Structure 1
Amino acid sequence: MLGTWLSDATITLRESVETWPQALEICGKPLLDAGVIAPEYITAIVQQHQKLGPYYVLAPGLAMPHARPEEGAKGLGLSLLKLQRGVSFGADEFDPVDIIIMLAAPDKHSHIEMISALAELFSSDADME
């Protein structure tokens, strides 16, 4: 199911990054290159993080950055960045983050199936390894 959205073109593997904004830029690049998001989408995530904190760090080691559809989402998509050495997002007990999955959706409803597929993946220890 996730193969619809995640492929070699949308998955990036890196040893490490210096900062969480750099992680967002690298993670978002495949979506940007594919025209799924506009540059302001990543900017909106960074601004919201600075305003609200790391609202998208959902579990130890896992971040799912996203912004509102009107903040630059042009289509439905996912991109994944896997880091060998995690980076701090300022998320206390959930840091360091080594899996970043950027989600983009052009409206409030079209991403529901995608979220369900991600939840299924994260609930399986075997799949996560």
Structure 2
Amino acid sequence: MSIMKLIGDNIVISTETNLSVDAALDITCSKLLEHGKVEATYLDAIKQKHQEIGAYYVLAPKIAMPHARPEDGVNEAALQITVFKHGVDLESEDNGDVYFSVTLAAMDSDSHIQTIMALSELFQNDEDVEAIISAQTTEHIAEILEKY
């Protein structure tokens, strides 16, 4: 299954600067909340976990994958892509600012294995990651993601 089936039109390009962690996380879940894919409790759970253990979801330089447990408020499996044009400091000591975020909302711990594998392939393709970060339109981002 293409990850675009889970993304749909959940793509956000943010040009905001000097975002707090909470404000950035709000943006990374905005479309999922707007479309009823997750409840507000899901976003709250991500923020709470961040308070407890830090930026557990920053996977590599420039890349984050915010997520919480399915029982924290997932209504439907979905992904949201967020590009932070000016980067955002999510307090990751090892990885620096985040420019590309994929918010994962999974229904259970098994069903999203294929999705994780496709995302892993994407995250390892520096050319596509850079193309997504530099894209000017959500349509261009979707075009790149169609490959996965």
Give the TM bin, normalised by the shorter chain.
over 0.9
1:87-126 equivalence runs, <5 A: 87-126=88-127
**Offset, 1:126:** 2.8
Structure 1 unaligned runs (5+)? none
Distance 1:89 1:36 in 2: 24
Count of paired positions? 128
Distance 1:60 1:112 in 2: 23
Letter in structure 1 aligned against 2:111: S
Which residue is 2:83 aligned to? 82
Identity of aligned residues (%): 38
Distance 2:127 2:6 in 1: 20
Cα deviation 1:9-61 (Å, max 9, x = unaligned): 20100112411211111111111122110000000000000001111111011
Give the RMSD, CA atoms, in angstroms.
1.2
TM-score (norm: length of structure 1): 0.92
Which residue is 2:145 aligned to? none
Moved more, 13-22 or 49-58: 13-22
2:94 partner SS: helix
Structure 2 unaligned runs (5+)? 132-148
Q: Does residue 1:41 correspond to 2:42, yes or no?
A: yes
Distance 1:91 1:42 in 2: 19
